[in-house]
Chain A
Amino acid sequence: MSALVIAEHDNARLKPGTSNAVTAAAKMGGDVHVLVAGQGCAGAAAEAAKLAGVSKVLVADAPHYAGALPENLAALVTPLAKGYSHVVAAASAVGKGFMPRVAALLDVAQVSEIVAVESPDTFVRPIYAGNAFATVQSPDAVKVVTVRATGFEEAAATGAAPVEAIAAGPDTGKAKLLGQELTKSARPELVAARRVVSGGRGLGSAENFRLVEALADKLGAAIGASRAAVDSGFVPNDCQVGQTGKIVAPELYIAVGISGAIQHLAGMKDSKVIVAINKDPEAPIFQVADYGLVGDLFQDVPELTAQL
């Protein structure tokens, strides 16, 4: 038994999620290999080689892996997958894109977004936006599994696995990446942050979101938002925490002016400590909060920032 973890990276560094996927793969039993496919991706490969539990890193370096397009990734991974019992990737935008393609080409089921490994063929995954958890067993020869990062610890950077170059797969030429508009921020990445401060409709405007930003900067936290705040244009889409946005589980999650719709709770209720500040004492967010403060956020948030 052995698992192949497909790394997600920007060529220089691994993206958050890959090291959690390695931890999950190690629980499936057997060796863990990591595949790094990219263009000029030696930096990411070196980082993968350090992850505890990894026994080999495979590198496919070619121009047609620059954009991590699912057609090309699937064409590379599918023939390799036949030599493994498990193919594993983070359930990120990239992983969600190419992994089902790999599963279909192998004629096997995919197990999506697992949060626990019960045994080499049995996994736990949320369904109905986390309102239920299904334990599923896969009889397929190759198990194709995506991993929800918040379900697993990050692998420590204590290893030293050999790095081996492999031949690139075909360039399918089916899609062309024209460009990316990435949100630039000096703050930590939302999905990997240890602390998150999120704002909701209660902030009222994009300008008022500065209160959330000031608190986040004081805490060294990432910025999140409810769907209502994103739909109102206060912050960009990629800040959204919830069923249709990012799933986070930081050590500290502070929800400011967020009522706590089911769709938002699905994205943050696994956080270790939840603080809610809201003027409505009946807001559902207080049902999941460890510490609730009923009050005017325009007074309380600056006061909190000042007292930290």
Chain B
Amino acid sequence: MKILVPVKRVVDYNVKVRVKADQTGVDLANVKMSMNPFDEIAVEEALKLKEAGKATEVVAVSAGPAACQETLRTALAMGADRAILVETDAELQPLAVAKLLKAVVQKESPQLVLAGKQAIDDDANQVGQMLAALLDWAQVTFASKIAADGGKLTVTREIDGGLETVEVALPAVLTADLRLNTPRYATLPNIMKAKKKPLDTLKPADLGVDVAPRLKTLKVAEPPKRKGGVMVKDVAELVAKLKSEAKVI
């Protein structure tokens, strides 16, 4: 089984983002960028499947500017076999990314696409599902446990009231939730080795995909600020305030 793992370059999860004064977006100048955390989990799971003898090759793919090479090198340093960058400076929205990935799937013929459930920048939570639809494949989102057996996968997924278990036949698209695994760190020798692993670059036009954005962002604003609260000295004062001031009990 060959596994394709899409990875996105996003603002590092530790960075507190700031909205630009002109409200056109979030300030990305000199901000630390990293691999989307859910994509790291997807890479880890693909590597585990390979180490367990269930997968033969793990290919990482990213779409975006040339700097996404760094993100792909991280995936290679973790252990992916090779990487593909669909290079473009255009703004990419989820539908366009799904179309690019579909074209890469048709070129590479993986049996499984293992993606992160959502990117922590646009929080869209769409690409895996859209890709599955465009390919007419099964999908399992929010996976917290994956068991591969021949041409079938048994996947436990997180749902609102608990967990559910779904069986799908390959080919399929899976999206990783937080508790699927804990991603490994790339070791220094592996970071060095990753520099020599193959990284191919394509353009959207090579894949025949129109990536023009659909949604127009009119404005990006700061969230409404909460008014500062008060400190109470003990439980009795808290109960009194909740009763007489907040009137919630």
Contact = CB atoms under 8 A, between A and B. Distances in A.
A289 interface: yes
Interface centre among B11, B142, B167, B216 (most CB of A within 10 A): B216
B98 interface: yes
The secondary structure that dominates the B interface is mixed
A180 B164 contact: yes
A142 to B, nearest CB: 12
Given A127-B220, A293-B232, A293-B234, A238 B158 contact: yes
A260 B214 CA distance: 36
A273 B113 CA distance: 43
A100 B234 CA distance: 49
Nearest to A265: B226
Contact of A93 (B142, B216, B234, B241): B142
B230 A291 contact: yes
Interface in B106-160: 120-134, 137-142, 144, 154, 157-160
A269 B235 contact: no
Contacts of A186: none
Interface centre among A92, A131, A139 (most CB of B within 10 A): A131
A236 interface: yes
Contact of A180 (B93, B159, B179, B230): B159
A135 interface: yes
A236 B122 CA distance: 27
Contacts of A71: 132, 138-139
Interface centre among B160, B220, B236, B238 (most CB of A within 10 A): B160
A96 interface: yes
B102 to A, nearest CB: 9
Contacts of B122: 127
A176 B137 CA distance: 13
Given A100-B94, A101-B129, A183-B162, A134 B220 contact: yes
Contacts of B160: 15, 92-94, 191, 238, 246
A177 interface: yes
Nearest to B142: A93
B163 interface: yes
Interface stretch (A79-87, A107-115, A205-213): A107-115
B95 to A, nearest CB: 6
Contact of A138 (B19, B127, B214): B214
A159 to B, nearest CB: 25
A164 interface: no
Using C-beta atoms within 8 Å of the partner chain, give the interface range for chain A: 35 or more
A308 B158 CA distance: 35
Contacts of B144: 237
A183 B230 contact: no
A293 B154 contact: no
B116 to A, nearest CB: 11
B66 interface: no
Interface string A293-308: 1110000100110011
Interface of A: 15, 67, 69-71, 74, 92-94, 96-105, 107-113, 122, 125-140, 174-183, 189, 191, 195, 219, 227, 236-238, 243-244, 246, 251-252, 262, 269, 272-275, 286-295, 300, 303-304, 307-308
22 contacts: A93-B142, A93-B159, A93-B160, A100-B94, A101-B133, A103-B126, A104-B95, A104-B131, A109-B215, A112-B124, A126-B123, A127-B121, A128-B121, A174-B168, A178-B154, A178-B164, A180-B162, A243-B120, A269-B223, A290-B227, A291-B238, A293-B234
